[in-house]
Amino acid sequence: MALLPVTRFLTDMTSSHPFGEIKRRGLMLVLSSPSGAGKTTISRAILAADSNVSMSVSCTTRKKRPGEVAGVDYHFVSGEEFNLMVNRGELLEFARVFDNMYGTPREPVEQSLRMGGDVLFDIDWQGTQQLAEKARDDLVSVFILPPSARELERRLIARARDDKAEIGRRMERASDEMSHWAEYDYVVVNRNLRDSVEKVRAILESERLHRRRQEGLADFVRQLQQGV
C-alpha cells in the first residue's frame, strides 16, 4: 500500500523571529477522548487554522463509514496488510480498538518532525502511551472530556452513524477511555467548541516555544552575543 505523505506539507520549517529564523523541531500533538466528545471537530478546526500542522492519517482494519475518504480519514487496510506493516516496523504505534486494529504510519510523522512540522494525532490512550515510551520529548498530549454524560450520549445518538448496539458499547468504552485522563499533559472540557479550539491552540503555541524544541536557539544567542 502506498502511503500518502502527511497532508498539507509544510513550507514554513522554522519559527519566524524578528531578528532571524530559529530552527525548530516539530511536535506531536495528540488529542484523545471518548468517542463523541468533539475531538474530530476540534482537530479539523486546528488544521484549518494552522498551516504548520498536518494530520497523521492512521491505518485501520475497520470498514469505511459513509462519507469517509480513503487516504484522508484513514488508510483502510486488510488484517494481512496491517500485520505486514507491524512486522516491518512501519507503525510508530498500534492498538486494538473496538475489535479493529489501528496504527500510525511512522515515516510521514518522522519526516514532518525533522522538518519542523507539527503533527496532529487522533489516537486512543494505548497509542498515546506507546508514543510517550518512544518519543516523550516530542509528545504533547491533550485529553478532551465531554461536558456531561448526558451530552456525550446525545452526541453519540445524534451522529446516528453507528447502530444502537454500537452506541451502547461506545458509552461503556467511554467510561474506560476517560479513566486515562490523568496520563495526559493537558485536559480540556469541551463545553463550547470555539473555546476548546482556542485552548488547544494556546497549548500548541506554548509548546512550540519550549526551549528544547527550538534547536537553533544556541546559535541564535551566540550571534546575539557576538553582535551579529
Residues that bind ligand 5GP (CB under 6 A): 35, 58, 62, 93, 95, 97, 102-104, 122-124, 126-127
Separation in Å, CA 4 to CA 38, 82, 106, 113? 26, 16, 12, 16
Task: Please state, as a whole number, how many other Cβ atoms lie within 10 Å of the Cβ of residue 63.
Answer: 8
Measured from the CB atom, is 61 or 214 closer to ligand 5GP? 61
| Angle between the N-to-C axes of helices 149-159 and 164-178, in degrees from 0 to 180, rounded to the nearest 10 | 140
Distance CA 75, CA 77 (A): 6
Measured from the CB atom, is 23 or 62 closer to ligand 5GP? 62
Measured from the CB atom, is 97 or 142 closer to ligand 5GP? 97
Distance CA 43, CA 204 (A): 12
In angstroms, give the least distance from the CB of 130 to ligand 5GP: 7
In angstroms, give the least distance from the CB of 184 to ligand 5GP: 13
Distance CA 18, CA 128 (A): 35
Measured from the CB atom, is 14 or 129 closer to ligand 5GP? 129
Report the C-alpha dihedral over residues 27, 202, 13, 71, rounded to 10 degrees: 60
In angstroms, give the least distance from the CB of 59 to ligand 5GP: 7
Measured from the CB atom, is 93 or 214 closer to ligand 5GP? 93
226 three-state secondary structure: coil
Measured from the CB atom, is 43 or 214 closer to ligand 5GP? 43
In angstroms, give the least distance from the CB of 102 to ligand 5GP: 3
Q: Residue 3 half-sphere exposure, CB side, CA atoms within 13 Å?
A: 21
In angstroms, give the least distance from the CB of 96 to ligand 5GP: 9
Separation in Å, CA 21 to CA 10, 33, 207? 16, 36, 18
